[in-house]
Structures are given as structure tokens and as C-alpha cells.
Amino acid sequence: QLMDWRTGRLPLAGLRVVDWSIYWAGPFLGMMLHDLGAEVIKIESPSNWDAVRTVIDVNRYAGDRKRPMTPQERANVSQHFNEWNRGKRSLAVELAEPRGHQIVLDLVAKSHIFIENHRPGAKEKLGIGYDDLRAVRPDLIYTSLSGYGQTPPERDAMALGAPVELPSALFLQNGYLNDVTPAKTGFSYGDPVGALAALSAVLLAVRALRKTGKGSYLDVAMRDALSFGIGAAFTDWSMNGVVRPRRGNRHPAFAPQGVYRAFGDDQWVAISVRDDRDWQALGRVLDAPAWHADPELANVEGRRRRHDEIDEQLEAWTAQRPARDSEALLQQAGVPAGTVVDFEQLRLDPQLNARGAFREVMHPAFGRELRATSQWARGDLAQPIDMPAPCFGQHNHEILTELLGRDAEAVAELERAGVIAGEIKPAAD
């Protein structure tokens, strides 16, 4: 169960996470730890911030819509950053500066979990490797999430999107039958998969910490997580010498299966016939007695051979009605079917809204934002998003004074010296 029935608290309540991560995988891990109750403090350097802050269409959000945004304006309005860093506090400190380095050590000494997803070796150069941080917090759970892992021979390989997806053989299953060019997924699939693998490791380490009082070093690789996910296809090759072909929207055992045009502009419905019982039900919904009378179509092998013919007839039916109507008729008959939705339909989806999947929050720089809620927060256990993603360095003063015990004058001096900052420092400046 999600909450501890003895205390009513989320499972990671009372734990503090230092999140030194960038782009998607690491920040997504930190966000999920927050959703499970942990306090998460994101650290960045004014001269080396999380680059996803500024990886946006620079013309899209300009206030007057007529000029590119400045780096400072862009730093706090990235939808990527704001989605993956909600609920965190921000400490912007120069790690390469001795006083900044000491601040990070002091923060880690008061924390329980450290996460990072930089290129292997970067953390050691800055003096925040596992041995460095374990010296100030012996029971620390130190989590390194990288593309290829912390061990040779490929530890130093850079990982981003397609470069880590394709070496995982994921492309072998992705694409249509006649595709000859390897294709990545529609987004950087390795990042959330790697983050979920890391979350599992962190939760196990937290359990071990609570039982033994000992910390852990966790080495999680996105390529490992992706490669483990191809499972059955790899086993088929290793045992039978079979390389499964790309099938697009079709399935090796279900037939027919596909995505079919519905009534309206760019409207679609997905349908999957799992077995002969589904096939009989589909025929009744479509009022297609000829299908039932055809002995070749009575089994999946015959339906696979005539998949194109079936698809043509099935789409002639789906094209006459809205996707939701086809979905309802087929679901009522016991045939798996679902409407392909766009973002507006997703936002208005009655099931998602009934489950509290979205919530509006007010961001200090961007204004009103629509955010997905915690995937763990449902029903009586719902935990609302308690705050939006932080602006750069937004919580410098409160972290340094309230948590680390610096007085106001010491914090002001750190700010004057550039050890902490509330703005990024682009190289051009």
C-alpha cells in the first residue's frame, strides 16, 4: 500500500534528496521521489545549469511574441524543466568554487539520498563522487543514473535519446514491416524507463537503510533497462534463431490488430482481436456474417494471412462513426478498443479527470500551468502537487539559513562573491 497505515505518511516522508541531475532521466527520478513523500532539493551551478531549462523554442514564449527571449527569461519557463522538476526546491551554487563545494557537502550531510546523471567522471572531478560524499554521510544512498553504467568498456559513452535506444536493440521491434532504416521511438524512451529502474533501486536501498542503517551505491544504466525490456524477442532469437520482424501496429498472435481511421479529421481507433471469441464478437458488432461463415477466418493463422483484406473492411466500418462510438460498441461486446486522442482530448478525458490526473498550479515566472499529478496519487491516498517547479536559485536563502545555519550576512557575502546566484550565467556574458 502507498501510505504507512501506522502513521498516515507517504513512504519516503522524512527523507531528503539532493538532486544533481539534468535533462529528463535524473530529474524524473527526483520528481517521483518527491511524489512518494521525500523532500527534494535540486542543485545547479549558475555557470552550468540544467540545460533543459533553456532547451525550448526561444520565440514561443516571448512576452510580446516578436522577439527571442533572453537566456534569463528562458531559464524559468521551460515546459520540460517545469514538468520534471515540480515539487522541488532550488539551490544554485558554484560547485567548482571551494565555498560552494562546502555548501554541497554540508547539504549532503543533512540528507539521505543523492542522485546524479552526469557523464561518468564528472562528479569525481568536482569532489562529489561517492567516496567524497560518503565521508560526510556514511549511510548515504548514492544513485548514479547514466546511459551505459559506471564500468568499462563503455562507461564514458555519451547517452541521449537515439544513441542509447538503438544500441539496446529496441529498434528491431520498432517500425513497419518494410522499414529498412532503424527507427527510434517517438520520444527518448530510455529516460523514463531508466528513471523507473533507478526508482526501484532507490526504494530497495531505502528499505535496506531502515533495516540495517547502511547506505548504498547504486549504478543504474538506461541501456540495461532498455535491453532487459526486449525480453521475449531476445529469447526467441537466442532459443530459436528467429529475428522477429517489425510489424507496425500488428501483433504476432492477435489478428486483426491495428489503428483504423474514424469519422472526422485525423481521428483514429485502435482495435485488437485476441482470440476466436473476440473475432466472433467483432463480426456481430459489424454485422458481418460472411466472416463467421468463412472457415479460413475461424482461426488466427487464416486471419493473419488475410489481414489486409480484414483491415480494409474493418476501416470501412470505423470510418463511418466517431472513434468514441466505435470504442463503446466494441468494448461493450468484449473486444479491446480505444480511441487515439490528441492533447485536447486527453485534457478533457472523463476517466483521467475523474481520477484527478491534472491540476493547475501557479508558477512564479510562467504563470498558470497545467500539470500531471503524481502517478501514485489516487483515491484516498491522493497527494496534491504542493508547489510548481522552482525558478533558478529560488530557495537559496531559505536553504542556507534555515537548513544549513548560515546567517543573513554570510548569505549576502556568498551572493556578492558569485558563490550562489538567482540567475544563470551564460558563457556569452
- pLDDT tens digits, one per residue of 74-106: 888 888 898 899 999 999 999 999 999 999 999
Lookup: cell for 266: 485525423
Question: Sorting pLDDT into bands at 50, 70 and 90, what band is 174?
Answer: confident
**What is the structure's pLDDT at 363?**
87
Cβ(116)–Cβ(21) below 8 Å: yes
Instruction: Provide the whole-model pTM.
Output: 0.88
Question: Sorting pLDDT into bands at 50, 70 and 90, what band is 359?
Answer: confident
State how far the Cα of 401 lies from the Cα of 389, in Å rounded to an integer: 21
- Asked whether the predicted pLDDT for residue 29 surpasses 90, the reply is yes
Which residue type does 73 have?
A: E
Which of 82, 106, 87, 85 is closest to 95 using CA atoms? Answer: 106
- Map residue 421 onto helix, strand or coil: coil
**What is the structure's pLDDT at 2?**
47
Beta strands in 29-168 (DSSP E): 39-44, 89-92, 113-116, 141-146
Residue 230 exposed, middle or buried by CB count within 10 Å (0-12, 13-18, 19+): middle
Cβ(404)–Cβ(106) below 8 Å: yes
Least confidently predicted of 42-46, 112-116, 219-223, 382-386: 382-386
Q: Which residues contact 389 (CB under 8 A, 6 or more apart)?
A: 81, 82, 83, 84, 85, 86, 87, 88, 363
The H or E element spanning position 32 is helix 25-35
Helices (H), ranges, 289-359: 289-293, 300-305, 307-318, 323-332, 343-348, 350-354
108-142 pLDDT per residue, tens: 999 999 999 998 888 999 999 999 999 999 999 99
**Cα dist from 163 to 167, 172, 197, 291, 302, whole Å:** 7, 14, 19, 46, 39
Q: What is the mean pLDDT of the chain?
A: 87
Which of 16, 32, 12 is closest to 24 using CA atoms? Answer: 32
Task: Average the pLDDT over 399-427 and give the result.
Answer: 93
Task: Average the pLDDT over 240-258 and give the result.
Answer: 88
Query: What domains does the chain contain, in order, with CATH numbers?
Result: 16-229+354-416 (3.40.50.10540), 257-261+267-341 (3.30.1540.10)
State how far the Cα of 390 lies from the Cα of 39, in Å rounded to an integer: 13
Task: Average the pLDDT over 145-155 and give the result.
Answer: 84
**What is the structure's pLDDT at 210?**
95
C-alpha radius of gyration, the chain, whole number: 26
Helices (H), ranges, 139-271: 162-165, 190-212, 222-228, 231-240
Which of 377, 390, 394, 405 is closest to 78 using CA atoms? Answer: 390
219-233 pLDDT per residue, tens: 999 888 888 777 788
Task: Average the pLDDT over 214-222 and give the result.
Answer: 95
**Cα dist from 204 to 27, 141, 218, 237, 382, whole Å:** 19, 10, 10, 32, 23
326-355 pLDDT per residue, tens: 999 999 999 999 999 999 999 999 988 888
Q: In what order do the strands lie in the sheet with 257-261?
A: 257-261, 268-272, 337-340
- Asked whether the predicted pLDDT for residue 5 surpasses 50, the reply is no
Task: Average the pLDDT over 37-65 and give the result.
Answer: 78
Question: Sorting pLDDT into bands at 50, 70 and 90, what band is 62?
Answer: very low
